Amino acid sequence: MRRRFVPPAKLALLALAVCLAATPAWAQNQPDAAAADRRLRELEDQIKRSQAEHAEIKRKARAISDELSHIRADMIAAARAAQDSEELLSELERQLEELKTLEGDRASALQRRSSQMTGVLTALERLAWRPTEALMAQPQTPAETVRSAILLRSAVPQIERSVHDLKDEIDIMSKLRDDITNQRQRIGNTAVRLDGEHKRLKDLWDRKSTLQYAAIAETEASEQRVRQLAGEAQDLRELMQRLEQERQRRLLEAATKAAAEKAAREAEIAAKKAAHDAEMAAQKAAREAEIAARRAEKERQEREMAEARAAREAELKAQAQAREAEIAAQKAARAHESAAREAADAKPMTSDKPFSAAQGKMIYPAKGRVVERFGQPNEVGVITKGISIATRKGAQIIAPYEGQVAFAGPFRGYGLLLIIEHSEGYHTLLAGMARIDANVGQKLTTGEPVGIMGDDDAKPALYIELRRQGQPVNPLPWLTAQKSKGHG
């Protein structure tokens, strides 16, 4: 809260009134001194309140800055957890398919062995019900009868081993079905956890959007200009050139605005100094006129003039202290605003390190398997200028490296397109998302969530390009190696 500025002319009139008020009567001198003392205490109280209010404003500004930093870190952690859950869910589903295939193979083998055992047991059962006399009456030689008995006796241990093997197969089938049930339970639990991470990420995004409402409002005009450029662009090269021109224009506007504000501040300081000098001259003239008027009555008014002079000096000192405090408060407020703007511009802009140092350290923006590689023909025979990653439905997309959003919106041939500007003329292009959670001009940190893949696509895929000075380069050597075997 700012203190109200007291005009210099009003201060001069107040000083002159104090001087003239000391001359009329002897009895009025004591109340004037008391009034000046009360006024001095009031000014001191106002200074203290102003300083306390200024400290509170600085504390609130720091609190908002810290909260935004915490929200950004929470969003990065939530996006990482969501991608880990997506990767685990894909692995669990793959293992479930393998268990189902194994179960089918085991069931077929068990069915074949069961059919074989059924025929053997049926023959043995029929033979067991026939009496010994019937065997003796059969039209066969004794040697053939002995041979049949020996064969039956030797078949019994083999049948017992087969029964034992069938029991083991049945136990294995039972364990496989239990494993399939447990695997489905793990998949369900992981899916629930993934839904929770997506909900938490959405809540963090809504909270961050609320805090950055003012910043979003300032970027709407820039977004409109960039979208107009996108509609007029004939190809991606022309779009990149116009985006560079737009960036240079923004830098020029910012420099012009800063110069105008500096000139206005200097003019304001010069005007205040001139007013202060005029006030000092007026006070000096008033004091000289007062001394000349009282010189004739010096002996009679000596004691009263001393008291009036003390009261006037106290008033002037209080006014000077008030002016100095007000000027100091204004300077501190301007310094705070400048520091806040510099902090907003500095966080989290690209690092001082050149982007070329990021080779092999960029993270994959999505979890999945590389299905199209740089320089290879795609399904329609066109040579690809980037890579494509097959993802899960509704997969979380993050920024592969820190930078500033240069474009976010639909662009023909790409669908929803996000362009992140880095240093040294590098840009990262991400396409194929169903939703983009970033705005033009927004500064991104590595791993910050920027979008979501669609739920309706049969085979969602994220397209990634890396360009230097508008020319595509192979992004794979720049991306860090994946631990998951699902990435090609």
CATH code for position 45: 1.10.287
As a whole number of angstroms, the distance between CA 319 and CA 419 comes to 57
Same domain, yes or no: 67 and 181: yes
What average pLDDT does the segment 275-299 reach? 84
Predicted local distance difference test score (pLDDT) of residue 420: 96
Same domain, yes or no: 316 and 380: no
* Chain centre distance of CA 202: 11
Inside any domain, residue 71: yes
Predicted local distance difference test score (pLDDT) of residue 220: 64
Residue 11 is part of which domain span? 1-216+274-347
pLDDT digits (tens, 9 = 90+) for 22-78: 444 444 455 555 666 676 667 667 667 766 766 676 676 677 677 778 887 888 988
As a whole number of angstroms, the distance between CA 56 and CA 398 comes to 36
Predicted local distance difference test score (pLDDT) of residue 484: 42
Inside any domain, residue 55: yes
In the chain, the largest separation of any two C-alpha atoms, in whole Å, equals: 172
CATH of the domain at 382: 2.70.70.10
Inside any domain, residue 248: no
Predicted TM-score (pTM) of the model is: 0.53
Same domain, yes or no: 126 and 19: yes
Inside any domain, residue 231: no
Predicted local distance difference test score (pLDDT) of residue 150: 67
Inside any domain, residue 65: yes
* Amino acid identity, position 399: A
Reading the block at residue 74, the tokens are 């929470």
Same domain, yes or no: 326 and 375: no
What average pLDDT does the segment 251-267 reach? 90
Is the pLDDT at 366 greater than 50, yes or no?
yes
pLDDT digits (tens, 9 = 90+) for 99-152: 888 878 878 877 777 776 676 667 666 555 555 554 555 556 666 666 666 666
Same domain, yes or no: 458 and 317: no
Question: How many domains does the chain contain in total?
Answer: 2
Is the pLDDT at 384 greater than 70, yes or no?
yes
Same domain, yes or no: 8 and 82: yes
Is the pLDDT at 257 greater than 50, yes or no?
yes
pLDDT digits (tens, 9 = 90+) for 437-475: 999 999 999 999 999 999 887 889 999 999 999 999 999
Inside any domain, residue 473: yes
Structural domain ending residue among the three candidates 296, 324, 347? 347
CA dihedral 278, 283, 285, 291 (to 10 degrees): -170
Angle separating helix axes 213-232 and 236-294, nearest 10 degrees: 140
Inside any domain, residue 252: no
Q: Which among 475, 485, 468, 380 is positioned nearest to 430, based on CA atoms?
A: 475
SS (H, E, C) 71-129: HHHHHHHHHHHHHHHHHHHHHHHHHHHHHHHHHHHHHHHHHHHHHHHHHHHHHHHHHHC
Is the pLDDT at 268 greater than 60, yes or no?
yes
End-to-end CA distance of the chain: 60
Same domain, yes or no: 66 and 196: yes
Inside any domain, residue 259: no
30 exposure class (CB count in 10 Å sphere: 0-12, 13-18, 19+): exposed
264 exposure class (CB count in 10 Å sphere: 0-12, 13-18, 19+): exposed
Same domain, yes or no: 314 and 406: no
Same domain, yes or no: 337 and 360: no
Is the pLDDT at 248 greater than 50, yes or no?
yes
Same domain, yes or no: 103 and 35: yes
